[in-house]
């Protein structure tokens, strides 16, 4: 009997871990190589108030069915909780709830006729099932035409600018459609944090014999004959197949021997990083609001997320947890400024949101930064998404930058992992070997 083929996976985010699970379930020998010291990728956690919390705010939507299935598969279905916390907007220094059809009709910054237009267009986008009819259009042009220039100026323009900066006017309409169409008011979270999902995935992989190598950075990928060789910070590996889940731009730097035409087409576009300040406070900052979008341009962050207006502060030793988030060009000065300086700027701005806020409320503070956190989904974006099969024999690429038109999210990485794993397993099963993928159920 032949030996089970070996598959290497680069990256232990949700995509890499889910794909690795599918490979071990099919009986392959699997090695996951991860640069960081813990699994989770963009969803890694830290400890605060005695509990695990994501460095960057995370929740699920009802439409995130692929990840809900995965959560159930690893035995955590009973720990997936749902709640309907309040989403609001800060406009000209006042907080307005913007969470329901009724809120839209009451949204004072817009004249009544514009509120009706906004409500009607949101209802249309909720009902329209086909994103393809919006292909080739920018969100800005569509919104200005159908919702009206005033709705763009007050509501969507500031939000698109906050997320995409100078690219705001170029963002693709199918992406905007997906934000409205797929998002639910009810939000999901794993009791004890997403940390538990990632730990569980790591355990399941180890139980099934996968090798999860942490703290090891991949430096180079090469196809050599029938094998794929991977050079890392802790030695070389050779696999029959390799799945890279790094951002496309990172893959382009690691892979040797890619044709020029391929690089020209797919080594393309811009990406923003994420910057996050997390505060543990003695007192509540926002009165009942979970998510506060900042429409006013003079704030140094684009959203305030009071996590403990979703879960009780009791889960975090009584601390009130507040995220202050930003997506920014990776060269932005905020990524280089000393944390204390950034904190000073952010904390000063909080008084504009709650005049009673005082620095004494801060029990602890943390600053987290991640590069390659937000694809800039412009109209041209879909033509620059590479296929999973790369020109290097045996090497596949799957990452959150290939998610379209949906906004990237854990669910879409799980969905992609399931598909690309099936593709790799199917391609491999036709090989002249007496071992077949899928031939050894576990």
Ligand X SMILES: Cc1cc2nc3c(=O)[nH]c(=O)nc-3n(C[C@H](O)[C@H](O)[C@H](O)COP(=O)(O)OP(=O)(O)OC[C@H]3O[C@@H](n4cnc5c(N)ncnc54)[C@H](O)[C@@H]3O)c2cc1C
Where along the sequence are the contacts to ligand X (CB under 6 A)? 10-16, 33-36, 41-43, 56-60, 217-218, 245-246, 250, 274, 325, 370, 373, 399-400, 408-411, 413
Residue with smaller CB distance to ligand X, 121 or 373: 373
Q: Tokens 């990776």 — which residue?
A: 330
Which pair of structure tokens corresponds to residue 384?
């620059």
Spell out a b/e string for 118-134, using b for 16 or more CB atoms within 10 Å of the CB, else e: bbebeeebeeeeebeeb
Residue with smaller CB distance to ligand X, 358 or 385: 385
Residue with smaller CB distance to ligand X, 11 or 148: 11
Taking the complex as a whole, the smallest distance from the CB of residue 198 to ligand X amounts, in Å, to: 10
Q: Which residues lie closer than 8 Å to 188 by C-beta, 6 or more apart?
A: 59, 60, 61, 62, 64, 68, 80, 81, 82
Taking the complex as a whole, the smallest distance from the CB of residue 279 to ligand X amounts, in Å, to: 16
Residue closest to ligand X, measured at CB: 41
Q: Tokens 């590069």 — which residue?
A: 371
What's CA 436's distance to the chain center, in Å? 34
Residue with smaller CB distance to ligand X, 35 or 358: 35
Distances (CA, A) of 202 to 74, 256, 375, 398: 10, 30, 27, 19
Nearest to 250 by CA among 335, 394, 390, 372: 372
Check: CB of residue 343 under 8 Å from CB of residue 365. Answer: yes
Taking the complex as a whole, the smallest distance from the CB of residue 422 to ligand X amounts, in Å, to: 17
Taking the complex as a whole, the smallest distance from the CB of residue 440 to ligand X amounts, in Å, to: 26
Residue with smaller CB distance to ligand X, 59 or 117: 59
Residue with smaller CB distance to ligand X, 106 or 366: 366
Spell out a b/e string for 230-240, using b for 16 or more CB atoms within 10 Å of the CB, else e: bebeeeebebb
Residue with smaller CB distance to ligand X, 147 or 376: 376
Taking the complex as a whole, the smallest distance from the CB of residue 412 to ligand X amounts, in Å, to: 7
Taking the complex as a whole, the smallest distance from the CB of residue 80 to ligand X amounts, in Å, to: 13
Taking the complex as a whole, the smallest distance from the CB of residue 185 to ligand X amounts, in Å, to: 14
Residue with smaller CB distance to ligand X, 103 or 217: 217
CA dist 176 and 216 (Å) reads 37
Taking the complex as a whole, the smallest distance from the CB of residue 39 to ligand X amounts, in Å, to: 7
Q: Tokens 């700027």 — which residue?
A: 345
CA dist 22 and 152 (Å) reads 44
Angle between helices 410-429 and 14-25 (to 10 degrees): 30
């Amino acid at each position: 009997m032949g030996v089970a083929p070996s598959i290497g996976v680069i990256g232990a985010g949700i995509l890499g871990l889910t794909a690795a699970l599918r490979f071990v379930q099919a009986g392959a020998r699997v090695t996951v190589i991860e640069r960081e010291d813990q699994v989770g990728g963009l969803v890694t956690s830290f400890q605060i108030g005695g509990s695990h919390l994501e460095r960057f705010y995370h929740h699920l939507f009802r439409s995130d069915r692929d990840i809900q299935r995965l959560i159930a598969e690893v035995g955590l279905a009973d720990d997936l909780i749902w709640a309907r916390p309040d989403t609001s907007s800060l406009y000209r220094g006042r907080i307005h709830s913007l969470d329901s059809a009724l809120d839209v009709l009451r949204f004072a910054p817009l004249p009544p006729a514009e509120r009706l237009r906004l409500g009607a267009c949101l209802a249309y986008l909720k009902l329209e099932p086909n994103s393809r009819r919006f292909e080739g259009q920018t969100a800005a042009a569509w919104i200005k035409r159908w919702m009206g220039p005033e709705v763009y100026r007050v509501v969507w323009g500031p939000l698109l600018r906050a997320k995409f900066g100078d690219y705001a006017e170029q963002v693709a309409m199918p992406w905007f459609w997906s934000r409205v169409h797929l998002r639910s008011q009810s939000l999901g979270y794993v009791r004890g944090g997403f940390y538990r999902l990632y730990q569980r995935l790591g355990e399941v992989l180890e139980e099934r014999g996968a090798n999860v190598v942490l703290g090891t950075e991949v430096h180079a990928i090469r196809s050599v004959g029938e094998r794929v060789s991977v050079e890392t910070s802790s030695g070389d590996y050779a696999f029959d197949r390799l799945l890279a889940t790094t951002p496309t731009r990172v893959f382009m730097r690691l892979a040797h021997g890619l044709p020029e035409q391929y690089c020209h087409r797919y080594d393309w576009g811009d990406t923003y990083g994420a910057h996050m300040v997390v505060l543990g406070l003695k007192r509540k900052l926002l009165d009942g609001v979970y998510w506060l979008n900042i429409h006013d341009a003079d704030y140094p962050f684009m959203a305030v997320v009071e996590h403990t207006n979703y879960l009780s502060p009791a889960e975090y030793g009584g601390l009130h947890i507040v995220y202050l988030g930003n997506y920014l060009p990776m060269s932005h000065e905020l990524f280089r400024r000393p944390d204390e300086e950034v904190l000073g700027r952010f904390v000063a701005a909080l008084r504009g949101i709650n005049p009673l806020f005082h620095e004494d409320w801060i029990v602890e503070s943390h600053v987290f930064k991640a590069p390659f956190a937000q694809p800039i989904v412009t109209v041209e974006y879909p033509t620059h998404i590479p296929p999973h099969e790369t020109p290097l024999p045996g090497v596949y690429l799957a990452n959150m930058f290939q998610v379209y038109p949906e906004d990237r999210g854990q669910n879409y990485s799980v969905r992609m992992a399931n598909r690309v794993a099936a593709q790799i397993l199917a391609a491999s099963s036709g090989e002249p070997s007496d071992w077949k993928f899928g031939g050894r159920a576990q």
